[in-house]
Amino acid sequence: MIVVHHLNNSRSQRVLWLLEELELPYEIRRYQRQATMLAPEALKKVHPLGKAPVISDGDRVVAESGAILDYLAGRYDSQQRLTPQSEEEKLQCRYWLHYAEGSLMPLVVMRLIFSRMGKPPVPWLLRPVGAAFGNGVRKGFIDKQLATHRQFIEQHLTRNPWFAGQRLTLADVQMSFPIQGLAARGGLDNMPATQAWLVKVMRRPAWQRAIQQGGEVDLATE
């Protein structure tokens, strides 16, 4: 039996989405973020890094979103529902699978961290300096980088209905979390194709079942 060690409001939601798309049986073990937003220590008993997502399948433990999606599709997508078919689709799918966590998420997380530099746990005396520093880095560096990424994603989705091309694949599952992050932090106002993609994703019955199982994902921070 596949067990999803599920941290609320986290990347683990996209693993539930894939499992629902593939209509696979699975069990959820729930972990609640602490006040610090970190995962509880108990998750380190599953995998030394104590991050979500992580799954177990019999004696096997698989961590890291992209690796989990790849593992699940490789082992269980016997009908090739979300597995890319053509060489071009495979290449695109692999690209977005890595891009999501390798290039985009670091910026999304950096933006979050720098936007919190004027807030607890930063000592209150340092908060005005922290806020000024955080805003400076955000505006001067991170937002400019993110603007380039936003434009890149938007152009891609203007030309392609799904990230790997003509059909839903693992690439869409993997990209769902950073796109939700962009939507929550800064919005998708100038990204109509990306907005349409997100609406299309959220209307899928499998997405809605995953939300029922794992809970809403709310990435708004400020």
Ligand X SMILES: N[C@@H](CCC(=O)N[C@@H](CS)C(=O)NCC(=O)O)C(=O)O
> What's the DSSP call for residue 3?
E
Residue 104: name the closest of 149, 59, 167, 51 by CA: 149
Taking residues 93 to 132 in sequence order and writing x for each that binds ligand X by CB under 6 A, - otherwise, the string is --------x-------------------------------
CA–CA dist 191, 194 (Å, integer): 5
Sole binder of ligand X in the list 2, 5, 6, 11 (CB under 6 A): 11
- Please report whether residue 52 would count as binding ligand X according to CB under 6 A: yes
Distances (CA, A) of 160 to 86, 90, 110: 15, 14, 28
Sole binder of ligand X in the list 53, 84, 118, 214 (CB under 6 A): 53
CA–CA dist 126, 107 (Å, integer): 24
Sole binder of ligand X in the list 2, 7, 62, 182 (CB under 6 A): 7
Residue 45: name the closest of 5, 72, 16 by CA: 5
The pair phi, psi for residue 31, each rounded to 5°, is -130, 140
- Please report whether residue 57 would count as binding ligand X according to CB under 6 A: no
In the complex with ligand X, the residue whose CB is nearer, 38 or 147, is: 38
Nearest approach, Cβ of residue 128 and ligand X (Å): 28
Nearest approach, Cβ of residue 51 and ligand X (Å): 4
SS3 77: coil
> Which residues contact ligand X (rule: CB under 6 A)?
7, 10-11, 38-39, 50-53, 64-65, 101
